[in-house]
Chains A and B, each alone.
Chain A
């Protein structure tokens, strides 16, 4: 019996370091977020219990929280459509031109390995209007009609309530998609290459045209991967912020995405508010990805595609 216990203890000791770190830096902070969200103060020296005041502040009174969610949502929507559609086209193209596929894959992914700060500062340097390197290139290549102040946050293009859409926001969305498409491309390509070649062959023998086999084979079998990419795009983009900080520094609040707000509140010692915002954002994200999973399941059962 004693040796049995000792054996189990030895076995447990293999995972003990991991479990210890995980408890201190994941489980405890996870619970701590909720505790802090009911408090006000800097969380280190002073803190007092305020009940649900922080959540009320975030959900009802804070004029800037929902706009910031909208800015994050705008960039996410851009990434979901523009970035992922281009990535899908690229993946389909590379899947066809497979001989040079590896070369393209290496190039497309390079922006994803660079840090958000590097890409943000580099594009800021190119796009910022003074002296306006990108604009001067455009005029050199005869594309002068494109010239504008890319990171401008003064001129408001549209306004809905508190939400102001500026050039800075659109540029941010563009740069974000540009940095992120390689990632979506790699996953979609892996999904495409996992589709067995025999399916296409038998379809060809049965006389299917290429658009038919795309609609009947590629698309249904790729749906789970597309859904996965969409969910991860939402999660990633709504939580992105370092690149945006480097690119626009928030553009006076007009590209202030949710996590940037949380970060600023932490810096401003408004810990309770930061945690409450984090919880709200987390709940929104979990709900969104859960809904998308359900929808994709429903679509697949409707189309009669085997679950994978």
Chain B
């Protein structure tokens, strides 16, 4: 009896602790969403604490048109899509090569990719920016290429460890049937590593979508900016109207949160794998 009471008390304490931390995470986000549906006067009265009874989409309209959030959003989608596509193709080719094929200098080159993940380069964006300037690549192409490189090391590492665990029988069978190496990579290798590919895609999408430093250096024109830079720009440009800002933050946050909720298993896998490399 005593132990049961004790157990229940402990459980209640545990859940109070967990719930209060969970609330601290959720409340600001929910408040942001709620405030974005209010008019400015409504917001000033209740500070966004009461539920929006007659939600208005006016803020979203203003943010998307006058705030140019629509442009930024499309830019972000474009950069993310192209970069992740490049990362997937290039890194899976390389991972397949490192795992299955022989060529001189293989181990040294793989070690370089590994080392790149471990050596911190706090000012790495400085020489990259200067280099892009000298190559006249301070534009979409340069940004996408530089971002692709950032995602490569981790993706190659993850895919290579996955390839290493796979049996080679299927590939041997394909070779006997007369497939060349590229064909084997495409029709046998890629389908087999699709769980790891999902991790690579999600993880890199988040990274590119959330990237700020390089983008803010490279894009000074409104029409090229991705969301993160656009949000800062938007914030600097406007005398702050809370509800409008909350609407634009929501626009930037909602796709990521939805993606996270659907794919959270892959994201967490990517995070743990990324940490274990170090």
Contact with B along A140-162 (1 / 0, CB 8 A): 10000000000000000000000
The one of B21, B122, B124, B133 that contacts A108, using a Cβ cutoff of 8 Å: B21
Contact with B along A83-119 (1 / 0, CB 8 A): 0001001100110110010001111111111111110
A136 within 8 A of B: yes
The one of B89, B113, B152, B275 that contacts A232, using a Cβ cutoff of 8 Å: B275
The docked-state distance in angstroms from the alpha carbon of A27 to that of B108 is 14
A21-B152 in contact given A8-B104, A262-B123 (Cβ < 8 Å): yes
A25-B28 in contact given A15-B93, A281-B122 (Cβ < 8 Å): no
Q: Is the CB of B249 within 8 A of A21?
A: no
- Chain A residues near B242 (CB-CB < 8 A): 125, 133
B91 within 8 A of A: yes
Q: Which of A59-67, A196-204, A213-221, A237-245 is the interface stretch?
A: A237-245
Q: Is the CB of A30 within 8 A of B121?
A: yes
Chain A 152-211 interface residues, beta-carbon cutoff 8 Å to B: 178, 182-183, 186-187, 190
B29 within 8 A of A: yes
Q: Is the CB of A126 within 8 A of B28?
A: yes
Q: Is the CB of A282 within 8 A of B245?
A: no
A94-B18 in contact given A116-B212, A262-B122, A263-B213 (Cβ < 8 Å): yes
Q: Is the CB of B272 within 8 A of A187?
A: yes
Minimal Cβ-Cβ distance residue in A for B26: A107
The one of A104, A136, A178, A271 that contacts B47, using a Cβ cutoff of 8 Å: A136
Contact with A along B1-30 (1 / 0, CB 8 A): 000000000010011011001101110110
Q: Is the CB of B18 within 8 A of A137?
A: no
Q: Which of B54-62, B164-172, B190-198, B260-268 is the interface stretch?
A: B260-268
B257 within 8 A of A: yes
Chain B 33-81 interface residues, beta-carbon cutoff 8 Å to A: 44, 47-49
Q: Is the CB of A17 within 8 A of B127?
A: no
Closest beta carbon of chain B to A280's beta carbon, Å = 9
How many A-B contacts if CB must be within 8 Å? 247
Q: Is the CB of B112 within 8 A of A22?
A: yes
The docked-state distance in angstroms from the alpha carbon of A90 to that of B149 is 35
A305 within 8 A of B: no
The one of A26, A90, A110 that contacts B18, using a Cβ cutoff of 8 Å: A90
A28 within 8 A of B: yes
Q: Is the CB of B256 within 8 A of A115?
A: yes
- 5 CB < 8 A contacts A-B: A27-B112, A30-B127, A32-B130, A33-B126, A93-B14
Given contacts A14-B97, A93-B17, A125-B242, 14 further A-B contacts (CB under 8 A): A8-B104, A11-B103, A21-B145, A28-B127, A109-B260, A109-B268, A113-B260, A115-B212, A116-B210, A121-B235, A122-B249, A187-B271, A187-B275, A286-B120
Partner-A contacts on B (CB < 8 A):
11, 14-15, 17-18, 21-22, 24-26, 28-29, 31-32, 44, 47-49, 89-91, 93-94, 96-98, 101-104, 109, 112-113, 116, 119-131, 133-134, 145-146, 148-150, 152-153, 156, 181, 185, 206, 209-210, 212-213, 217, 227-228, 231-232, 235, 240, 242, 245-246, 249, 252-253, 256-257, 259-261, 264, 267-268, 271-272, 275-276, 278
